Amino acid sequence: MILIDGLYINKGGGAVLLQYLIDCIMERQDAGNFFFLLDPRFQIPQSLKSNYTVIPNSMKARLAFYKLHKHAYSSVFCFANTPPPIRLKAKVFTYMHNQKLLEAPHRKLEKKYFRLYLKYLVISLFKKNTDYFIVQTPHMVAEVKRINLIAPDNCLTYPFYNTQRYAKHNTPFDNRPADEFAFISTPSPQKNYPTLIDAWEYLHEKGIHPALHITIDNTAPDLLARIAALQAKGVRIHNYSYIAPEELYFKYRYLICPSIMESFGLPLIEAAESGMKVIAPELPYVHDVITPSLTFLNPYSKIDMARAVIDAMNTPLPFPKVVATNQVNALIDLIARG
């Protein structure tokens, strides 16, 4: 039996990837050999029947599960960055997909990184319980090596994403509004929403009025208040809190990505495959997954970002090219072999 440990995965990009991984596994002839450990906040796919269990997302509950089932599995895949709390006889693979955790040791004195640093300490304590860390991109390999989390030969690269979800877009590019941009993400600090909003205010002050479509929920009340104030001034910002990504990806011309850090730039791939042109910072994570339509040098500069927006509206840009390859089947084969 093979265990897929998805505990601690409940929303955002991690949940999208876990859902896709489950769907791919359940299409296999050997699907009956897989068992799933899931977070109570994760929406259970219809494809799962009796081959899963849900436990509290606590270290205590996870430890109890592994102690009870330590001889039950020949191979284990931990999806949420953290190896098992005990050493198993099974081959263990741990998917490291949060770059902020790898940044935490060097930024532990910063308030926003302290809790991440505590989680990093747990990962560091348990790293002896995994045989391999698996990451999605070359820059994540470099990050793992930089902090000596595991020996280089035990860090594997297996990117995966749903290649079909956005393969067909509804509206031809030339039929989309010429001055409307979108960015779909939760308001985590690394997403750099404040600079994006600053850029839109700067454009408005310069008499340039493109529209911006974003998804900031009530976990960021300061940003919501700022957006409301700018909207009152006539700045064209439309906030949806949450919306299905394809509702924006299929409708507007440009993805404007302000993020300063991404473990895997899935929105960049989704936008590219939806027929959008992609504007992003000149950072390694971008070039790991796509060749963008246009980049700006400083992600913290509202002026750099605004200039890129102006260039997009006034200059024909190339369509982005996806350079990351979907290796989901190779990943599942690796886990199944153990």
CB-based contacts of 294: which residues, under 8 Å, 6+ apart?
277, 278, 279, 280, 308, 311, 312, 317
pLDDT band for position 293 (cuts 50, 70, 90): very high
Token duo for residue 81: 């960055």
Q: Which of 87, 84, 69, 77 is nearest to 36 (CA)?
A: 77
Residue 164 has pLDDT above 90, yes or no: no
Residue 237 vs residues 50, 85, 194, 229, 308: alpha-carbon distances, Å: 45, 45, 13, 11, 17
Rg (CA), the chain: 21
Distance between CA atoms of residues 140 and 243, nearest Å: 29
pLDDT, position 24: 96
- For residues 242 and 299, the model is more confident at 299
pLDDT band for position 167 (cuts 50, 70, 90): low
- Tell me what the pLDDT averaged over the chain comes to: 94
Domains and CATH numbers, the chain: 2-157 (3.40.50.2000), 173-322 (3.40.50.2000)
pLDDT band for position 112 (cuts 50, 70, 90): confident
pLDDT, position 169: 65
pLDDT, position 113: 85
Phi, then psi, of 24 in degrees rounded to 5: -65, -40
pLDDT, position 122: 94
pLDDT band for position 78 (cuts 50, 70, 90): very high
- For residues 116 and 174, the model is more confident at 174
pTM value?
0.86
Report whether 128 contacts 105 (CB < 8 A). no
Residue 197 has pLDDT above 90, yes or no: yes
Mapping DSSP to helix (H, G, I), strand (E, B) and coil, where does residue 303 land?
helix
pLDDT in tens, 13-59: 788 899 999 999 999 999 999 999 999 999 998 889 889 999 999 99
Residue 286 has pLDDT above 90, yes or no: yes
pLDDT, position 277: 98
